[in-house]
Amino acid sequence: MTRTWIVIGTRGSALALAQAHWVRDRLRERHPELEVRLALIKTKGDKIQDVPLAKVGGKGLFVKEIEDALLDGRVDLAVHSLKDVPAELPAGLAIDCLPEREDFRDSLVTPLGLDLESLPAAARVGTSSLRRQAQILHSRPDLTVMTLRGNLDTRLKKLAAGGFEAVVVAEAGLKRMNFNQVARRPFEPEVLLPAVGQGALGLETRRDDDWLGQKIAFLHHQPTAWCVSAERAFLVRMQGGCQVPLAALGRILGRSLKLDGLVASPDGRRFYRASMEAPLEEAETLGQRLADHLLDRGGREILAEVYKNASGQTD
């Protein structure tokens, strides 16, 4: 039977919908003969908003229910923020299509558009990420970093209500939501290294769905794929999850790929950062090499300590 439709699975947040709508609209333009519709799926991460991610299971919280729907055939395609996707996928699923990456930077949002250096001592900074927390405290140990969960618009409302002097969010989310009026200062990666895959979308399908793979192939951006391949290989080698402040960013320099990575203690006091370069075709190996380098420099001790402390907590 000839297929005439594609069902896209997505979370129901405003940002997730904006991303799914973008993919849907591109598919409709390219394949007007197909019906492309969305299926909204609520994930565990959407339901639990008052607990830090590190204590409730980490990144998989935002994708598991959608992946279950892919595996049982309720949806054909999932649109994820790649930074929310664990480095290892369930058997039978694949992310072989990566659209061109949006801005990979984090941004400091304040009512007056201040930068990090201009925040007053003890200013309250909201973030849901240990990675952001560690790097902020490394630069400004006098600040008060507080846990802030919720969708992007929810976090901005909490800032406007006076609960924080600043919040840190992904610049890609602000751009995809057209929040051009929001006063913010993007962090250059030399100051605050982004999450693995930040700013990139991952289009996940069933591995054996060759028909759909061909339909979405026009959206694939190989330079983005090289960069995030190195970053995700770094994450796998570091055995990283939300409990450990880890970051990596790949950038293309001619025919080479430069990868920056870091591992830090949550308080930012121990902080190991390094970079390496390799040919584009060796992206995955590059990620592994950089991870090994940082593990040997002190990262292994940080991971052991963090996981030991977390072992007594409920995941």
Whether the CB-CB separation of 231 and 202 falls below 8 Å is answered with no
Concerning whether 142 is annotated as a catalytic residue, the answer is no
What sign does the CA torsion over 144, 234, 175, 53 have?
negative
Q: Which of 25, 46, 84, 142 is catalytic?
A: 84
Q: Please state the three-class secondary structure of the chain as a single string.
A: CCCCEEEEEECCCHHHHHHHHHHHHHHHHHCCCCEEEEEECCCHHHHCCCCCHHHCCHHHHHCHHHHHHHHCCCCCEEEEEHHHCCCCCCCCEEEEECCCCCCCCEEEECCCCCCHHHCCCCCEEEECCHHHHHHHHHHCCCCEEEECCCCHHHHHHHHHCCCCCEEEEEHHHHHHCCCCCCCEEECCCCCCCCCCCCCCEEEEEECCCHHHHHHHHHHCCHHHHHHHHHHHHHHHHCCCCCCCCEEEEEEEECCEEEEEEEEECCCCCCEEEEEEEEEHHHHHHHHHHHHHHHHHHHHHHHHHHHHHHHCCCCC
Q: Which residue carries 């594609």 as its tokens?
A: 6
Q: What are phi and psi of 301, to 5 degrees?
A: -70, -40
Active-site positions? 84
